[in-house]
């Protein structure tokens, strides 16, 4: 269709001289209006496409294959950079004409986005729209797009140039073709790792200790949870935290905060669900399996530590917080169900996504008094995300030396 990428760029520039925006060149403008997402992953990609599509009607060209770097002699040359009059945001367009270089698109868009913030420091992800136009959509590129949309909340839309009635037009690619990264909202309770932050009263061991003394500090405890949630957001992690009062008679700490995160290396076992024989995995997949078996990462790493550390300074003024009980959620849930009075729930990542979905459902049913930090809502969120039928495969039980 095009001899090279420069010809594709010339074509698009010429077409844009006669129209207001990219949407005037779309061959299937009704696609997004008729597409029905089949799951939450598809819904997030659909929403990304929709947000971008609404920002492509009236565009003002800022640069076309020009160096936008503020630092010389660096060279950063996005194919097209537009201002969207409708969304008051910036639109980056990246063109790819042959199969090989498509793997570079992620690196290039990331670099252009960073450089844009040299001009507009407070440009948020919500004000930036990325358009990828490519004849070829290899697995690596599709996985990159899904990752950026699903995990990093980027606004991306994808087009494929096609010939129609002796004209070249842009076709919105099939959303379902991007949904190849086998993640999603359904997980096993063994994919979650965390611990209990016990809040000991400074005077717990006094003969006449007042067991109710910490009751007046619930607001400070809630503040600590909110700060932990903010840190979880900052790290782009997925997890949750509960504040609860301990009713176990022998417990010395009157309150605790349970903090759980998605344990990244636990998810490696999903590779085993995609093949009927381990030998069919790629070399890198096998490397990660062996790494997980040899080192047995539990998920109690720096990310989880940083989240709890963020809230601890807000607790030390009135109690002694101490980390105890390193668990998986499947083992830990029964502990708080037996002895805890749940007070507050905070979450981040996919748990926040599901909480918002479920809160909207409750409001639609007339339950307008439900609070966003309601712990019962939190338990419902976790129960909906966790698939009780999930067949978690324990990598430590595998004889990898024999199978590989």
Of 137 and 203, the one with more pLDDT: 137
Report residue 174 as tokens: 């099939």
Task: Please choose, from the candidates 150, 181, 183, the residue with its C-alpha nearest in 3D space to the C-alpha of residue 353.
Answer: 150
Q: Are residues 223 and 169 in the same domain?
A: no
- C-beta of residue 394 within 8 angstroms of C-beta of residue 266: no
Please tell me the predicted confidence (pLDDT) of residue 185: 55
In this structure, is residue 158 part of a structural domain? Answer: yes
Report residue 166 as tokens: 């002796």
**Interval 96-124 mean pLDDT:** 81
269-286 b/e (C-beta count within 10 Å ≥ 16 → b): bbbbeeeeebeebeeebb
Half-sphere exposure of residue 251: CA atoms within 13 angstroms, side-chain side? 19
Q: Are residues 165 and 193 in the same domain?
A: no
List Cα–Cα distances, 323 to 20, 37, 190, in angstroms: 59, 42, 20
Reported as a single tens digit per residue, the pLDDT across 303-330 is 999 999 999 999 999 999 999 988 999 9
In this structure, is residue 289 part of a structural domain? Answer: yes
Residue appearing with tokens 């939450």: 40
Half-sphere exposure of residue 118: CA atoms within 13 angstroms, side-chain side? 10
Rounded to the nearest integer, the mean pLDDT of the chain is 90
**Interval 196-211 mean pLDDT:** 78
178, 200, 228 - which closes a domain: 178
Q: Are residues 308 and 391 in the same domain?
A: yes
Q: Are residues 23 and 160 in the same domain?
A: yes
For residue 376, pLDDT over 80 is answered with yes
Please tell me the predicted confidence (pLDDT) of residue 296: 87
For residue 83, pLDDT over 60 is answered with yes
**Interval 251-259 mean pLDDT:** 93
In this structure, is residue 161 part of a structural domain? Answer: yes
Q: Are residues 173 and 37 in the same domain?
A: yes
**Interval 396-401 mean pLDDT:** 75
What total of structural domains would you count in the chain? 2
| Maximum average pLDDT range among 272-276, 297-301, 314-318 | 314-318
142, 158, 178 - which closes a domain: 178
List Cα–Cα distances, 226 to 285, 300, 379, in angstroms: 37, 20, 17
In angstroms, the CA 88 to CA 81 distance is: 13
**Interval 26-35 mean pLDDT:** 96
Domain encompassing residue 386 = 189-403
In this structure, is residue 108 part of a structural domain? Answer: yes
In angstroms, the CA 197 to CA 101 distance is: 48
- Please, which residues have CB within 8 angstroms of residue 58's CB and are 6 or more apart in sequence? 20, 21, 84, 85, 86
In this structure, is residue 183 part of a structural domain? Answer: no
In angstroms, the CA 147 to CA 340 distance is: 37
- Give the pLDDT band (50/70/90) at residue 190: very high
- CA angle 261–140–79, rounded 5-degree value: 110
Q: Are residues 154 and 224 in the same domain?
A: no
- C-beta of residue 177 within 8 angstroms of C-beta of residue 150: no
In this structure, is residue 246 part of a structural domain? Answer: yes
What phi, psi does 339 have (nearest 5°)?
Answer: -130, 0
Q: Are residues 205 and 135 in the same domain?
A: no
In this structure, is residue 292 part of a structural domain? Answer: yes
Please tell me the predicted confidence (pLDDT) of residue 98: 67
Q: Which residues pair with 245 in a beta bridge?
A: 255, 341
178, 199, 230 - which closes a domain: 178
In this structure, is residue 184 part of a structural domain? Answer: no
Please tell me the predicted confidence (pLDDT) of residue 55: 96
Report the percentage of the chain scoring pLDDT > 70. 94
**Cis link prior to 77 (omega < 30° from 0)?**
no
- Quote the strand ranges of 222-365, DSSP E: 239-246, 255-262, 319-328, 340-348
In angstroms, the CA 4 to CA 96 distance is: 9
Please tell me the predicted confidence (pLDDT) of residue 206: 67
Q: Are residues 149 and 240 in the same domain?
A: no
For residue 47, pLDDT over 60 is answered with yes
Report residue 142 as tokens: 């599709």
In angstroms, the CA 60 to CA 301 distance is: 46
In angstroms, the CA 267 to CA 291 distance is: 13
Q: Are residues 33 and 164 in the same domain?
A: yes
List Cα–Cα distances, 348 to 130, 238, 305, in angstroms: 25, 5, 15
- Give the pLDDT band (50/70/90) at residue 180: low
**Kind plus residue range of the DSSP H or E element containing 319:** strand 319-328
Q: Are residues 120 and 215 in the same domain?
A: no
Number of Cβ within 10 Å of residue 164's Cβ equals 10
pTM of the full structure: 0.81
Q: Are residues 365 and 282 in the same domain?
A: yes
**Interval 2-11 mean pLDDT:** 88
Q: Are residues 133 and 197 in the same domain?
A: no
């Amino acid at each position: 269709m095009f001899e090279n990428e420069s010809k594709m760029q010339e074509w698009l520039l010429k077409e844009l001289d006669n129209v207001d925006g990219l949407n005037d060149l779309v061959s299937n403008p009704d696609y997004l209006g008729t597409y029905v997402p089949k799951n939450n992953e598809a819904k997030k990609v659909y929403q990304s496409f929709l947000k971008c599509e609404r920002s492509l009607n009236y565009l003002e060209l800022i640069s076309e294959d020009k160096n936008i770097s503020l630092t010389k002699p660096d060279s950063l040359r996005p194919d097209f950079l537009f201002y969207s009059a409708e969304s008051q945001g910036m639109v980056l367009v990246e063109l790819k004409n042959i199969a090989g270089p498509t793997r570079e698109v992620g690196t290039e868009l990331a670099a252009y986005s960073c450089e844009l913030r040299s001009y507009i420091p407070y440009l948020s992800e919500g004000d930036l729209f990325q358009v990828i136009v490519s004849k070829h959509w290899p697995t690596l590129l599709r996985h990159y797009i899904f990752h950026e949309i699903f995990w990093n909340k980027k606004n991306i839309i994808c087009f494929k140039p096609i010939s129609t009635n002796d004209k070249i037009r842009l076709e919105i690619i099939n959303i379902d073709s991007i949904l190849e990264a086998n993640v999603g909202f359904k997980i096993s309770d063994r994919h979650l790792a965390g611990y209990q932050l016990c809040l000991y009263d400074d005077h717990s061991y006094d003969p006449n200790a007042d067991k109710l003394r910490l009751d007046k500090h619930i607001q400070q405890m809630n503040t600590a949870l909110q700060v932990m949630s903010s840190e979880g957001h900052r790290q782009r992690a997925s997890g949750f935290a509960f504040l609860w009062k301990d009713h176990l008679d022998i417990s010395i700490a009157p309150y605790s905060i349970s903090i759980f995160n998605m344990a990244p290396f636990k998810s490696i076992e999903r590779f085993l669900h995609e093949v009927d024989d381990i030998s069919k995995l790629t070399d890198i997949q096998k490397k990660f399996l062996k790494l997980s078996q040899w080192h047995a990462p539990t998920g109690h790493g720096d990310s989880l530590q940083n989240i709890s550390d963020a809230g601890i300074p807000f607790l030390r003024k009135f109690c002694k917080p101490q980390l105890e009980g390193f668990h998986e959620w499947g083992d830990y849930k029964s502990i708080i169900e037996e002895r805890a009075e749940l007070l507050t729930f905070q979450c981040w990542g996919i748990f926040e996504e599901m909480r918002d979905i479920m809160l909207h459902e409750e409001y639609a049913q007339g339950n307008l008094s439900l609070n966003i930090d309601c712990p019962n809502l939190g338990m419902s969120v976790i129960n909906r995300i966790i698939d009780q039928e999930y067949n978690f495969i324990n990598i430590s039980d595998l004889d990898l030396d024999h199978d590989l």
